[in-house]
Structures are given as structure tokens and as C-alpha cells.
Structure 1
Amino acid sequence: MNKNEPVDARIRLAIAQWPDDAPRGSVTSFCVEHGITRKTFYAFRARARNEGQAAALEPRSRRPKTSPTKLTEALKQEALNVRAALESSGLDHGPISVHDKMVSLKMQAPSVASLARIFREKNVARLEPKKKPRAAYRRFVYPAPNACWQLDATEYVLSGGRKCVIFQLQDDHSRLALATHVAGGETSEAALTVVKKGIAARGVPQRILTDNGVALNPSRRGWEGQLVTYVTSLGVEPITGKPYKPTTQGKKERFHQTLFRWLDKQPFARSHAELQAQVDRFDQIYNTERPHQGLPGRITPQQSWDATVIAEAPRPKPVPVLPEPQGPGPVFPLVGAVEAAPDPAGDTAGSISMNQQPEAPPEAAPSTITGSIAHPATTGSRKLRVYPNGVVNIGRTLFSLTTAMGGRIVIADWDAEGIVFVSTEGEIIVEYLWPPEGTAYMGISKARARFRK
């Protein structure tokens, strides 16, 4: 019999009624037969002799007579009060947050596990056995501040049901809230504003991680957005997560949840300015007052930022020098041309204009090319977006660049003899001589060169 298993009541009764004149050796035989020790036998018999046979029939409690480490009701109530105060303030109020808050207030703080049991005992929290433990996640963190920033936007509602968008910029290493901007919609101008605000406050990052939204990084959609053009000009590497994989931007998604929990406890903002003041106050609390559970030692994001050397700012990539035209070049009816649009802040950002026609040339320029390609007498260049099937349309002639170039941005550079298509990295993709007038399609087999530096 296992020593931790209770002894059967029938065995206890037999021991309590054991005769005093039992023959020699009967106790040993009885213990071997029923799987108990002689010590247990004599303990039950002594209890029956001193307290009566009824006392030997029921197992006694193993609970200790004293519990010096038992939590008092007063301490439990203090923990509940701290949790209620955090909840009313819109901050995280789980066992870890309550423990850290009690330690910061110089209060006697029970362990995190004890706080979790207290909250379940008082019915202010529930047990979630199916919830994935933290150890099951594979966390990735960049080694230094400014090594990577994460940018995302989320909708919020003002008083009266009006919708707005909150852009949040966060450092991946320290979880520091770099900048927040409230805008009327998810636009490229608002994304540029929050990034410039973060750069002015914390410097230039090495890379910036966003989703594939049109206002943030539409590279997977086949064109280059204003934000990508701006950060690329500074040497910043724009990167995105896989479509329909929001866990890549998990830090930002959790950041939104913390912001919403805090805003829900604040008065409804009536304007963008009021909401901007609220989120600025939240950023201060988040950075300097609230311990972050995702950081080692549960320090604040500002402490994490100050503890590590900031990553070196990137160097802007050299801008390729294109040949200057000798005069006004021919006007091609291009499809998907990329023009440089002036930014309101004074910077030049690349914006995509689909089916945008160039302005009409002056009277001294050659005649406009419409249906077929004439041999131009001047040089020129233009940015184009390649069709998904790997061709570009100049005039009414299709030039093949292979399907591998589908959806990418290329530079078309031409002179009197022919036209060459170059990638944005400076790699020659394909080179053609001007075909005869009326040619509808130029296959890759008619090219002079393919994929060379």
C-alpha cells in the first residue's frame, strides 16, 4: 500500500478492536497481509486506546497547526485595491502589474502566483488553462535602439461617432513610444508626419517595419509610396511583414491594445487636438512610469533606451545621375509613370500616378509620338512600372522585360539609336534598338543585351 494512500476503514476497525491476548507474531502477519507497517498499526491502536475507537476510524487532517506564511485578509484587500486603482486608470492590472506597483509603493507584495490565486479566489479574474504560455512564443528583438522602428495605424472614434486614425511609431528594441500622430485618415502625408516627428526626436533609424498598407509600404502592390521614397532617401531600409501575418508586427498590435485600454478610461475627445493631447500623455506614462513586462527586469522603455548604445544612423544611398537631355524630349503616352511630387514639408517624395500623361511639349519640340515610335533626335529618361506579365508600354509598342520584372519600377533611358531599361539599383535589364514604325511588340529575343551591369 502506498504510504500516501489512506488506510481502509475496515483495517482501522480491526486494529481498534485488536485483542490484548493475541498470539505472538499475529501483528506481523496482519501487517504483511494488509500492506501496512507495524508503526502504523501501533499508532492506530494507541489512538483507539487513548481517544476511543471512533477516533481511529477517520483519517486526521495533514494541515499544519500553524501557517506563518499565510496571507492575511488585510493584505489580500490591499492587493485588490491596487488592482482596482490600476484598472480605473486604464493601465494593465494583471498579477505582474499589481506586484510591480505594490513594490514601487513600498508595500508588502505577495508573489505573482499568490496574487493570481487571490484574484481567482475573489472572482475578479478567471482561470484560462487554454491560454498559450509566454514560454511558447519565440521572441525576436533587435540588438540596439534605432536598429528598427515599427509603424502602424489604428482607427479610433471621437465624440459624435466621428472616426479618426492614430499613427503610432515604436522602437523595436526598447519598446519606446517614439511619436504618435492623430489624423483624419490613413494617408501617406500623415505617415510622413509621424516619421519626421520621430526622426526629429530620436534620430534616423536603420530600418522601418510596416504592414503592406497603401499609405505605408505598397511595394508588394507594384509601386513605391511616398513614405518609402522619403525613408529610402535617408538610407533607411523599408521592410514589411508577410500579407495576412500580423504577428510580424506583434509589438505594434499589443501597443494598440494598451493605448485603447487607457483611452477607454479617459473622457471622449471632441477634436483631433484633444485626442492628440491624450495620446501624448499616454506616451509619457508608457515610456517613463509603466514597467514593461516584455523587457528584461520589467523596466520602463525609457530605461531600456538609455541602457544600450543607439545604433549608428545609416548613410543615404548615392542618387544615380541620369543623362541630361539636350532639348525637350518626345512625349510618350506612358502607362504607370512615376512622377516626383513635392512634399508639403519641402521634401521630394515619389508618388505614383496611374495613366498620367506628360505635359504637352513646346512648339519647338519634335512632333508627339502617338501610334508608333519614331526615332527621337534627343535623349531622355522616365520611370515606369512594369506590367505583371513583364512588359512596358511606350507609345503603342510593348517592350518585353521578362516576367521576372513584373510589378517592379524601372528606368527607361533613350537616345536617337535605341532605348535601355535599367533597374533602380543601376542594373541594365534589357536594351533595344528603335523598331520600325508600326511595330506592336518587341520580344526579349530582339534585345541587344540582357541583365548586365
Structure 2
Amino acid sequence: MSQRQRLIEQLLLPNANVSELCKSFNVSRKTAYKWLSRYRLGGFSALSNRSKAPVIQPHKISSEMEERIVRLHEENPYWGPRKLRDYLLYVKHLSDVPSHTTFARVLKRHDCHVITSNKSKPATLRFEREQPNDLWQMDFKGSFMTEDKRCYPLTILDDCSRFSISLVACDSETSSIVKGHLTNIFHEFGLPNHINVDNGNPWGSADLTSYTSLQIWLMKLGIKITHSAPFHPQTNGKDERFHRTLKLEVLHQRSYKKKEIQDVFNGWRHKYNYERPHEALNGRTPSHKYHVSSKRFSENPIPFEYEDGIVKKVHSSNGMFCFRGERFRAGKGFNGEYIAIKETDKSDEFAVFFMDNFIKKVKLGESVQ
């Protein structure tokens, strides 16, 4: 017999002294009367401890939902609670999806650990273009060895939507290879207004001293080219973040054959664009925001006509041009192209343009000998 039952039996005796009994059983008068009230409503069985949980438990979820959360984490061990929740909410369009804190409790309860790169996120000011295809970020993600050959992943990311335009396993970083892949990409997605690239081959340089044939080709298509600040690849921040995710989820401690890596890239890119929620997009996927460009690609664009300036043709052998009896360097990337020379506010200094792109300034008396 429990202490509560013995107390109730004593309280029910004629002439029972409540104060003395409470002192003897080491309980308060309030507790004694509470147990007595329970006994009168439900007998001795009503004296057992009651659950302290609220009648309505807003965080309690069904076993089916809990199993689904655990299974989803097993399939996507790099996704945290917010991303898992956003996937069910915005990709699978489920109703009654619990909060991300509930997801976190479920993962903790089942000892599910999220795999991360262990790199703290830098505090940066986020900026982005307002419309898709206004700016693409393009770069090579270094290189890595497959089981039989070195691979150079070419990545292109839309700045506004974070949509992965391209993830191509290239054999090298030459202009001809990039141009071939870009031709296919432009046929599928159209043309962007701007492309931001790194410095050096095959992109050219930010100080406007080196123009590559690839850069000239892009300008002839009407695309404005900008470069990351020298030694600061973070200027291409979204593409750099994409590279870290690619390394963590695809390349880290894994080995592939060269012939299979493109299929691996294609599968992961589809998941990244259409299934993987993005925090910067309020949990939506990049595909939710992206659309192809209205500027269509032509392999034979209409030749550009200069409206002002003195038009000169760059020599096809050495990238030089002649102006007022002097020789100046445009760069071998301009071999065979037409440029325009325009006056500035200085009588001996002139601005050189290719189409509507400023190239450099030249000064009379400082020609190349």
C-alpha cells in the first residue's frame, strides 16, 4: 500500500486530525486535500502520478513524420534542420510540416549529425542582381585527379537565383575548350548581360592589360566582362560558395573515373537546382527563381558599326595598330578586329574602344618602337 493510500485511510477515520496526519506523513495540508479530492472522484487508482505534459503538445509529431525526417537526413547528411524542413515544405509541398526546431530535436534524439566543412561563415554584406541572367559568375574550381586523368570543373552560377548554369568536367582550362562549352550553354540558356570572371588565362585581367580571344568573343556577343579584384576571388563570392558545397558534397574523400565524373556532376547539379533549398532564397530552390534569358544566341552576330571615332584595324600578326604615324599595342586578342580611337580632354591622349567597351588610353609620343 502506498503512502498516499495510507494517508487517505487515516483521513477517512472519524475524528481524524488533519494537521497531525499531515505532520506524520510529511505533506502539506494542500497536498492532503488534493489527494483526498482525487480519491473521492476516482478511488485509489486516481492517486497515481499524472503526466505533467500539457494536454495540447504543439511540438509532438507523428511517428511517420519522425521517420521521414530521419530518412531524409540519411539521404542528405549535409543538410541542417532548416534545409530539411524547407525541402518538405517547398519542394515536396507537404502541409503540417513542423518547425525547424522540431526537426533539430528529432535529429538530436536519433543522434543524427550534420556533416559540415567546419569553416565558419564570414560576416559579409550580401548583394545580388535583381533579375536572372543580369550577371553570371564563371570560374574553374581548380582541378583534381580522377582515377585516370586530371579534371577541371567549369562552373557558371546565376547571381540572382543561384541557379547552376553549368558544371562541366573539362580536360584543361584553354580558351577553345571554354568557348565550345559556352556555345552549348548559350544555345540552351541564352545570353547574360554580364559575366564576372577571375584573372589570368583564359579570362584576361582586371587591369585591362591583357585581353584573350575568349574575352573578345564574349564582347562581340554583347556581353560585358568584369573581373574579380586581384588576389580576392571572393568577388565571385556566390560561385566560390558553390565550389565549397561541391567539394563537400561531391569531391571530398571520394574517387571517380574520368568517364563517370560528368554523370556525377549532372546528378548533383540537378539536385542543387531543383531539390536543395537555399537560405538566401528563403528556403526556395534556385529553379524557383531562375528563367532562361530572352537574349538569344547567334553564332554569327551582326557586325558592330562605330558611330564616332577613328576606326582602325588591328594587325592580325602582332596585335598592333597605327595611329597618326605611331604604332600602339592593342593586344593579340584583337588580331584582325576593328577598334575606334576617340578624343579625350587631353590633346595628346586618346581612348581606345572595342565596340562599346573601353580598352585603354594611348598617348602620342609613347608609341611602341
Is TM more than 0.5 here?
yes
After TM superposition, the structure 1 = structure 2 runs for residues 14-413 of structure 1, keeping only pairs within 5 Å, are 46-47=29-30, 50=33, 63-71=52-60, 74=63, 75-87=65-77, 92-103=78-89, 104=92, 106=94, 109-125=97-113, 137-160=124-147, 162-220=149-207, 222-264=209-251, 268-271=255-258, 273-296=259-282, 298-306=283-291, 318=305, 322=311, 340=316, 381-384=327-330
Counterpart of 1:275, as a letter, is: I
The answer as to whether partners of 1:150 and 1:171 remain within 8 angstroms in 2 is yes
Structure 1 CA distance for aligned equivalents of residues 128 and 361 of structure 2: 37
The Cα shift of 1:266 comes to: 11
Instruction: Tell me if 1:431 matches 2:364.
Output: yes
The Cα shift of 1:221 comes to: 7.4
Show CA shifts across 1:278-326 (max 9, x none): 3233333333343333224x333233124x98579999864576458xx
Correspondence for 1:363: none
The 3 A distance-change label for structure 1 pair 242 and 260 is same
Show CA shifts across 1:140-166 (max 9, x none): 111112211110111343442632101
Structure 2 CA distance for aligned equivalents of residues 226 and 85 of structure 1: 44
SS at match of 2:176: helix
The 3 A distance-change label for structure 1 pair 286 and 72 is closer
User: What is the aligned-residue identity percentage?
Assistant: 19
Structure 1 CA distance for aligned equivalents of residues 56 and 121 of structure 2: 31
Structure 2 CA distance for aligned equivalents of residues 411 and 269 of structure 1: 50
The answer as to whether partners of 1:188 and 1:215 remain within 8 angstroms in 2 is yes
The answer as to whether partners of 2:206 and 2:226 remain within 8 angstroms in 1 is no
How many residue pairs get aligned? The number is 306
* TM-score normalised by length of structure 1: 0.54
Structure 2 CA distance for aligned equivalents of residues 49 and 218 of structure 1: 86
Counterpart of 1:97, as a letter, is: K
Stretches of structure 2 that go unaligned for 5 or more consecutive residues are 1-18, 21-26, 36-48, 332-338, 342-347
Name the Cα RMSD after superposition. 4.8
Give the structure with higher Rg (CA): 1
The Cα shift of 1:70 comes to: 4.0
Stretches of structure 1 that go unaligned for 5 or more consecutive residues are 1-18, 21-43, 53-59, 325-337, 342-350, 357-375, 386-409, 413-419, 435-440, 443-453
Counterpart of 1:431, as a letter, is: L
Q: RCO (CA 8 Å, sep 6+): is it higher in 1 or 2?
A: 2
